């Protein structure tokens, strides 16, 4: 897919103190594009979103949305722009008013019909129809997170920044909510940047993903490319259990137990993972992981084959 360049990050460096948190980042995001930012806790994902939102002054570099240069508080009295919305990890809502009122808060009351229609549309996007009239203070953390997403969408931003957007939402709801929100953003051609450490927020939704590590972008590519060609254990670990054999990375499903081979490992433990079992084994004093259809007894030898 080809996207028009809309968000441009040029040579961005930043630190809260003298110590840099992000160093010389360069990347672009297109209109309607879904970009995932992944990295370990503390790698600077939230910081990067806040910088794009204009919450801090850059130490070095520039950020542009179309022709508008994003300025920090030193140059901008009020943080934020109409074309951009940001849903932080600490969403702040109005606790004593209903879900509907929270979502509609920034919509013009001079057009009540339109306001009502738009509010109901967004209540549906975040699957909160049953709670539309409920006061926010009676909602769970995950439900509040959904209200925060709907509210950010209310005034049709051109770009949406989402920080761990589904982290408080239970697994019963998560997958359908992800589809609903991300499909809505695509349909509206709203650019979105999603910080996450959960592969399920990314696979199937992101057009591109950026991996942050040690202040830098260590990889930027499509989820399928990074999944199929993880250049480092850090990247592979985002997607699942893996083993390093002869300096190559193999996911658990790439190691197959066979009748006979020269590649022999000893089973340590088996873990049920739903579809299969994850077998932890020892090979040349190293721990390796194998996906298998059954649980295996600790201590038994297994022969393995590598599926490339």
At 141, list the tokens. Answer: 């953390």
How many residues of this chain interact with Mg ion, rule: CB under 5 A?
A: 2
Cβ atoms 266, 298 nearer than 8 A = no
Residues 11-40 close enough to bind ligand ADP by CB under 6 A: 16, 21, 39
- Residue 145's binding partner among Mg ion, ligand ADP, none (Cβ under 5 to 8 angstroms by kind) is none
Closest distance to Mg ion from the beta carbon of 219 (Å): 19
- Residue 42's binding partner among Mg ion, ligand ADP, none (Cβ under 5 to 8 angstroms by kind) is ligand ADP
DSSP of 80-137, one letter per residue? --TTEEEE-SS----TTSBHHHHHHTTS-TTSHHHHHHHHHHHHHHTT-GGGTTSBGG
Closest distance to ligand ADP from the beta carbon of 212 (Å): 7
Closer CB to ligand ADP, 30 or 54, in the complex = 54
Closest distance to ligand ADP from the beta carbon of 27 (Å): 16
Q: Choose, by CB under 6 A, the member of 41, 260, 275, 293 that binds ligand ADP.
A: 41
Distance in angstroms (rounded) separating the CA atoms of residues 74 and 76: 6
How many residues of this chain interact with ligand ADP, rule: CB under 6 A?
A: 10
Report angle CA 214, 28, 126 to the nearest 5 degrees. Answer: 90
Closer CB to Mg ion, 43 or 243, in the complex = 43
Does residue 196 belong to the site contacting Mg ion (CB under 5 A)?
Answer: no
Q: Choose, by CB under 6 A, the member of 6, 14, 25, 44 that binds ligand ADP.
A: 44
Closest distance to ligand ADP from the beta carbon of 201 (Å): 14
Burial class (CB in 10 A: 0-12, 13-18, 19+), 180: middle
At 13, list the tokens. Answer: 């460096």
Q: Which of 104, 29, 181 has the alpha carbon at shortest distance from 37?
A: 29
Does residue 42 belong to the site contacting ligand ADP (CB under 6 A)?
Answer: yes
Burial class (CB in 10 A: 0-12, 13-18, 19+), 260: exposed
Closer CB to ligand ADP, 63 or 139, in the complex = 63
List the end-to-end C-alpha distance of the chain, in Å, as a whole number.
Answer: 27
Q: Which DSSP letter does residue 166 get?
A: T
Closer CB to Mg ion, 46 or 191, in the complex = 46
Measured CA to CA in angstroms, residue 67 lies from 5, 55, 188, 219 at distances of 11, 19, 21, 27
Closest distance to ligand ADP from the beta carbon of 173 (Å): 23
SS3 label, residue 285: coil
Residues 38-67 close enough to bind Mg ion by CB under 5 A: 45-46
Residues making contact with Mg ion (CB under 5 A): 45-46
Residues making contact with ligand ADP (CB under 6 A): 16, 21, 39, 41-47
């Amino acid at each position: 897919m080809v996207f028009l360049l809309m968000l441009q990050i040029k040579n961005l460096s930043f630190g809260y103190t003298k110590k840099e948190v992000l160093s010389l980042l360069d990347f672009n995001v297109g209109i309607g594009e879904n970009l995932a930012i992944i990295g370990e806790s503390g790698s600077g994902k939230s910081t990067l979103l806040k910088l794009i939102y204009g919450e801090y002054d850059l130490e070095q570099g520039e950020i542009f949305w179309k022709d508008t240069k994003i300025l920090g508080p030193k140059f901008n009295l009020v943080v934020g722009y109409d074309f951009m919305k940001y849903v932080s990890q600490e969403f702040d809502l109005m606790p004593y008013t209903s879900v509907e009122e929270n979502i509609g808060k920034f919509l013009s009351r001079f057009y009540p019909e339109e306001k009502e229609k738009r509010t109901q549309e967004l209540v549906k996007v975040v699957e909160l129809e049953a709670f539309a009239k409920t006061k926010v203070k009676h909602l769970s953390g995950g439900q509040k997170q959904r209200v925060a997403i709907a509210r950010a969408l209310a005034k049709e931003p051109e770009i949406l920044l989402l920080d761990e957007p589904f982290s408080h939402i239970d697994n019963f709801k998560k997958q359908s909510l992800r589809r609903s929100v991300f499909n809505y953003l695509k349909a509206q051609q709203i650019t979105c940047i999603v910080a996450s450490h959960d592969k399920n927020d990314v696979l199937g939704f992101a057009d591109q993903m950026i991996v942050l590590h040690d202040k830098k972008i260590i990889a930027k590519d499509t989820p399928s490319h990074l999944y199929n060609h993880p250049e480092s254990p850090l990247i592979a670990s985002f997607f699942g259990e893996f083993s390093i054999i002869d300096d190559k990375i193999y996911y658990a499903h790439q190691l197959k137990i066979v009748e006979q081979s020269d590649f022999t490992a000893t089973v340590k433990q088996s873990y049920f993972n739903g579809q299969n079992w994850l077998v932890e084994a020892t090979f040349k004093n190293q721990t390796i992981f194998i996906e298998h259809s059954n649980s295996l007894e600790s201590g038994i030898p297994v022969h393995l084959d590598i599926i490339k």
